Amino acid sequence: MTMILNLESSTEVCSVSIAENGQLIDFVESDEGQNHARLLSVFAQELMNRNQLEFSQLKAVAISKGPGSYTGLRIGVSLAKGICFANQIPLIAISPLKSMSDHVRSNLAEYGISPSPGLLLCPMIDARRMEVYTALYDRDLQEVEAVSAKVVDSSTFAPQLEKHPVVFFGNGAAKCKSEIDHPNALFISDVKTSAQFMCSLGLKAYENNQFEDVAYFEPFYLKDFIAGIPRKNILKK
């Protein structure tokens, strides 16, 4: 029995799930905004209690590694490391872009998408303005284009769309819909990052011993953190 706790905190969604042998058995999440510092550890303990489990019974903790929210990622990684250290269990890191793509490719029919051989999956996480964190995967979840930050306009995915149908989804896809106007562009709404989508990838990583160094692992921020300028300088007289 391989029991893995999954933590997703890379976007506005604060999400925790438990998977047994790669199958979701329970989850809890909130998409009400950046409440990760308050909710993530509470959700984790709630799930463990609800399923009458101890953290020592886990085989691993899987964390959403980024890209995404700088603060959210740090909160998730800190909690995951604490659980792993305390219980001497391994840490698994999963891309939220890949986990969303795994969910979509497994549910194409439910989303009304024809599973054509050349279909490409394009998850998008909202960044700033018209920028998104994104990647391209084929239906086997092989990376066609590496994770990057893109400013989206009408030409951004033109070469791929000329050759393939491309499915766009994630919380960054909606703002790009008006820019990407092509017959091969397919949009799925209401697909967000979720710990529900990490289960099978977490098991695969566990079986392949794809573990992170608990002491030194850092989230994949993709871009340097840029602090906002305070609206009011409280030290100014």
- In this prediction, residue 224 carries a pLDDT of 58
Read off the pLDDT of each residue in 9-38 and give the average, rounded to a whole number: 95
Q: Is 80 exceeded by the pLDDT of residue 41?
A: yes
Domains within the chain, CATH numbers bracketed: 3-95+194-207 (3.30.420.40), 97-187 (3.30.420)
pTM of the predicted protein model: 0.92
Q: Is 50 exceeded by the pLDDT of residue 83?
A: yes
- In this prediction, residue 128 carries a pLDDT of 83
- In this prediction, residue 210 carries a pLDDT of 98
The per-residue pLDDT of the chain, averaged, comes to 93
Whole-angstrom distance, CA of residue 40 vs CA of residue 46: 10
% of the chain with per-residue pLDDT over 70: 94
Whole-angstrom distance, CA of residue 160 vs CA of residue 27: 36
- In this prediction, residue 229 carries a pLDDT of 46
Read off the pLDDT of each residue in 158-187 and give the average, rounded to a whole number: 94
- Strand order of the β-sheet with 23-30 is 23-30, 14-20, 3-8, 60-64, 91-94
pLDDT band at 230, cuts 50/70/90? very low
**How many CB atoms neighbour CB 37 within 10 A?**
15
Read off the pLDDT of each residue in 84-89 and give the average, rounded to a whole number: 98
Whole-angstrom distance, CA of residue 20 vs CA of residue 4: 7
**Chain mean position to CA 93:** 10
Task: Classify burial at 222, counting beta carbons within 10 Å of its beta carbon; exposed 0-12, middle 13-18, buried 19 or more.
Answer: middle
Read off the pLDDT of each residue in 107-132 and give the average, rounded to a whole number: 94
pLDDT band at 129, cuts 50/70/90? confident
